[in-house]
Amino acid sequence: MDGPSGALHPFLRGVDWLIGTWEGTGRGIYATIEPFDYGEEIRFSDVGRPFLLYAQRTWSLADGQPLHAETGWLRPREDGRIELIVAQATGVGEVDEGTVDGRRISLDSVAVTPTSTGASASQVSRRIEVSADGSTLRYTLDMEAVGQPLQRHLEAELRRVEA
């Protein structure tokens, strides 16, 4: 779990349990869409700096077609809080702030900004938890968008496939 220089940055010691590749399945729901199932891969990579590179992609379990992708940086802070900066392929930029409690991260958006053609999300809450044995990552994502109040949009369970 050490970065390219061989040493994990001290800020990452509280989230090093995320580093690796995770794969699994999830379920999407929202007031304005039909529920759907999806496959997913998430990677958290140490790049030798005080943040983790985050990359995510999903695909339809029905036909294998790509559904969503986002990339960004998970930034633990010296004060014990954490930030997530995300660029979504749907034309949305997202900045979240939150807390780390053991192997649980809670994040709430402080800014959600679409491009002129981007999706119309206005608030996001993410919860990420890794099992005590480090083998399973579960998350939920709640979203306020398209005139709907904050509500569950995604939930998934992923298995570690690479440390």
pLDDT tens across 65-74, in order?
999 999 999 9
> Which domains are present in the chain?
10-162 (2.40.128.20)
pLDDT of residue 5: 56
pLDDT in tens, 9-19: 999 999 999 99
pLDDT of residue 124: 97
d(CA 27, CA 143): 14
According to DSSP, residue 10 is labeled G
The pLDDT confidence band at residue 4, using thresholds 50, 70 and 90, is low
Say yes or no to pLDDT of 2 above 70. no
The pLDDT confidence band at residue 163, using thresholds 50, 70 and 90, is confident
Q: Which residue blocks in 2-67 are alpha helix, DSSP H? A: none
Tokens representing residue 76 in the block: 């633990």
User: Could you tell me if 52 and 46 are in contact, meaning their C-beta atoms sit under 8 angstroms apart?
Assistant: yes
User: Could you tell me if 58 and 51 are in contact, meaning their C-beta atoms sit under 8 angstroms apart?
Assistant: no
